[in-house]
Chains A and B, each alone.
Chain A
Amino acid sequence: MPLENHEKARFLLHRSLVEGISLEDRQWLDAHVGQCAECGRYADLSARAVRALDWFALELDPAAALRVENVVRSRAEGMRSAEAHAKSLWIGTAVAIFLTFTGSAVTWRPLAWLASQWNLPSRVWQIVFAAFWLLPSLLLAFLPLFRRRLLGEDSDSNGQTV
């Protein structure tokens, strides 16, 4: 039997285990292995090697598994509540900004009227309006979002970083 046939048989044997082979190759391989004792032994060896991998069974420690499960569960819950909190902060900020601008639009006309009654230059009362109405409102609206940074809290809600 030519040497190439044995090499081909071994190549196909591995290939059949790793990625599969065509029906035509399978038929050729089966016929060859049936005739060649050496390649038959090799086929048996390959099958034993793969089977032996299945015989490794790690013993599980149920306590360790449960510990991991609990840690992951509590982290998931922590993340969910932190995300819900962050979401509510963003919504609150959006509402506060909206109210700031609508409130400003509403108070603008009475202030302009008062300024004209007191003969105040328009630039002066507008600066006063921005300094004592608009800026404080915007600062208050954004404050919750940057609270952590301002307070120097860098860790997440569980106080852990991965």
Chain B
Amino acid sequence: MVGMVTAFSRVAEPESQCIARALRRRDSEFIGRMVSRYHYRLLRYLVYWTSRREQAEDLVQETWLRVLEHAGQYNGRLRFEPWLFSIARNLAIDHLRKQQTARARHRMCREDEAGLNLPAPDFESPFFAAARSEDAKRIAAALGALEPIYREALLLRFQEELSLAEIAQVAGAPISTVSSRIHRGLSMLEASLGGGADAA
């Protein structure tokens, strides 16, 4: 934890100060530009969490509304992305919990099963839809099988290029945990590409 705090206390770019000021002032023009600028990255992050495109799209909007609500908590001393992703993460986790509760209730009320008509798990579709090569298709299958926390760690490290300290901030976990999640996720991806023989 001490390592996390030290890593977070470093000085960030002045852009984060502009964002903090715009959020506090409710500058709709600036906020609108930010929504547009971060839309793809936020959507991709939420797809990695939820494995469902439609839910991710809904959560993108909820994330921004929550950003507005909690604007006072962002002081601009750290980068904006980890703060944004941590809000999205909390919403995604709440959403997944609600889904799990609904599924559990669904299982308990067998007589009403037909009426509830909950969608079947569809973990692979968004990744397969986005896969552009054979390697990517194999990775898509591996990603679909990975738990969201490993997918999240891989995305934040290799696509968002956040530092381990920033990922730890988003995930609310120690750096060592984040590091082992990335190692494990990477090993699983390597196994999917190399048929498992080369995985550690």
Contacts and interface: CB of A to CB of B under 8 A. Distances in A.
B159 interface: yes
B62 interface: yes
Instruction: Tell me if A's interface is mostly helix, strand, loop or mixed.
Output: helix
A90 interface: no
Contact of B31 (A41, A59, A60, A73): A73
Size band of the B side of the interface? 35 or more
A53 B139 contact: yes
B135 A68 contact: no
B78 interface: no
B65 interface: yes
Interface of A: 10, 14, 17-19, 41-42, 45-46, 48-61, 64-65, 67-77, 79-80, 83, 162
Given A18-B157, A49-B189, A72-B65, 9 more contacts: A14-B187, A14-B200, A49-B139, A50-B158, A56-B140, A58-B130, A68-B60, A72-B32, A72-B61
9 contacts: A14-B183, A49-B190, A57-B132, A61-B57, A68-B39, A72-B65, A76-B28, A79-B68, A162-B62
Interface of B: 25-29, 31-32, 35-36, 39-40, 43-44, 47, 53, 57, 60-62, 64-66, 68-69, 126-127, 129-133, 135-136, 138-140, 154-155, 157-159, 164, 179, 182-183, 186-187, 189-190, 192-194, 198, 200
